[in-house]
Amino acid sequence: MTKASDVFKLKNANNVEVTFIGRGGQITGITVPDKDGKLADVVIGYQSVEEALAGDGYFGALCGRFSNRIVKGQFSLEGIDYQLECNNGPNHLHGGSEGFNSRVWDVTPYEESRFTQAYKLSLVSPDGDQGYPGELKVEVVYGLTDENELVIEYAAETSKATIINLTSHAYFNLKGAGNGTIEDQVLELNASKFTPLSAEIGTVTGEITEVKGTAMDFVDAKTIGEACNADDDQVKIVDGIDHNFVIDGYDGMLRLAARLSDEESGRCMEVFTNQPGIQIYTGSHFDGTETGKLGKPIVKWGGVAMETQIFPDSPNKEHFPNAVLKPGEVYKHTCVYKFSIQ
């Protein structure tokens, strides 16, 4: 039986190392070389497992059953109204206060030729868990390749019609965690549209808007700081970026969603997914009061989460992608974080 504090490591031929723990499958470290071969840990977090277990439970964690927000925690399915916990102001966030990030996953070694090393993480979520219908059986593979890809593959099956939207919540800083903010790191998104927010609703309005001419335009690469410091209503609502972007050309197949790079270190990370959206969150709520890696404070804009997903509040928006899973169907989600030098 896996314990919350158990530590697992994946390592490849290029000294890339991924570390995670049993609780939440939380990725507590991803060490990658820079242009001179110097290694740094590029995910923000704490200095010890004890601190990780006591601290922000979303750092690097697997989130579910429904990542991101559901307005007022309500949805209807097959004629039944469901009320979920409102653990984020008026809304439901990341599956509730006892979401998948707070569970101890069962971790076992996993072998497949495409991976240098891999683990399988499994969880059975009982019918009614956090208010969601159906028993949900979830399997997630963390696989590391010698091409410096961390592959995250999710699969889930349910005993009753339910909703699902799993994601991974690591915050990246390609200079290395603890080395300031991500303001001068360059982001390019394969997204010409995004889903705007309303401060009153506390999440998406349901509109799908062109990014052109707004701070959310990352179709041509630009620094994250340019957007976070822009005089823009959407930026002001969340003091940075905390938005779902609509991936262009979505057809359920794996495609490039995002590219993050840091000129100073030469590190680059591409995100591939078969999902329709990606949440870009610049960690605006970090206030420097917590101590993170290198003994440095965890600061506002100190890392950027890139969460592949179905759009927020999809269960209540008919024109958003489907988040319903029925018995006999298999939910399949792939997210690849590929590291390189530019």
Residues that bind ligand GAL (CB under 6 A): 58, 68, 93, 242, 279, 281, 307
- Cα–Cα nearest to 245, from 275, 283, 288, 290: 275
Q: Are 272 and 25 in contact (CB under 8 A)?
A: no
DSSP 311: P
Q: Measured from the CB atom, is 149 or 242 closer to ligand GAL?
A: 242
Nearer to ligand GAL, 75 or 281 (CB): 281
Helices (H), strands (E): how many in the chain?
3, 29
Nearer to ligand GAL, 20 or 58 (CB): 58
Could you say which of 92, 169, 243, 333 is catalytic?
A: 169
Cα angle at 224 between 219 and 230, to 5 degrees? Answer: 95
Cα–Cα distance between 239 and 261 in angstroms, integer?
22
311 class by beta-carbon count within 10 Å (0-12 exposed, 13-18 middle, 19+ buried): buried
**149, 153, 307, 333: the active-site residue:** 307
- Closest to ligand GAL by CB, 58 vs 218, is 58
Shortest distance, position 314 Cβ to ligand GAL, whole Å: 14
- The sign one gets for the Cα dihedral 303, 307, 311, 314 is negative
Tell which residue, 192, 251, 183, 255, has the closest CA to residue 222: 183
Q: Minimal distance in Å, beta carbon 305 to ligand GAL?
A: 6
Give the nearer residue to ligand GAL in terms of CB position, either 122 or 284.
284
The CA distance from 88 to 80, in Å, is 23
**Nearest to 164, CA basis, from 248, 243, 100, 105:** 100
264 is an active site residue: no
User: How far is residue 255 from each of residues 87, 208, 209, 238, 274, measured CA to CA in Å?
Assistant: 33, 20, 21, 28, 6
> Which residue from 31, 15, 34 is spatially nearest to 266, judged by alpha carbons?
34
Residues 6 or more apart whose Cβ sits within 8 Å of residue 200: none
- Residue 51 CB, nearest distance to ligand GAL (Å)? 17
User: Minimal distance in Å, beta carbon 112 to ligand GAL?
Assistant: 29
Kindly state the smallest distance separating residue 309's Cβ from ligand GAL, in Å.
Answer: 8
User: Whole-number minimum distance, CB 32 to ligand GAL, in Å?
Assistant: 23
- Nearer to ligand GAL (CB atom), residue 148 or residue 275: 275
Concerning whether 307 is annotated as a catalytic residue, the answer is: yes
Distances (CA, A) of 34 to 14, 65, 151: 11, 36, 20
Residues that are catalytic: 169, 307
